Amino acid sequence: MAREAPVEWIWAVQAVAAALFLFSAYAHGVAYERSRAGRMVWLNAVGRQGALVLAALETLGALGLIVPMATQTLVWLTPVAAICLASLMVFAIVFHISRREWPNIGLNVVLGALAALVAYGRWGLLGAS
Which candidate, 90, 68, 91, places its Cα nearest to that of 79? 68
Identify the domain containing residue 56 by its residue range.
Answer: 4-125
Q: What percent of the chain has pLDDT over 90?
A: 74
Residue 100: what pLDDT? Answer: 94
Q: Write the pLDDT tens digit of every residue in 64-91.
A: 999 999 999 999 999 999 999 999 999 9
Number of domains in the chain: 1
Q: Over the stretch 10-44, which tens digit does the pLDDT of each residue have?
A: 999 999 999 999 999 999 999 988 888 888 889 88
Q: Are 126 and 39 in contact (CB under 8 A)?
A: no
* Centroid of chain to Cα 126: 19
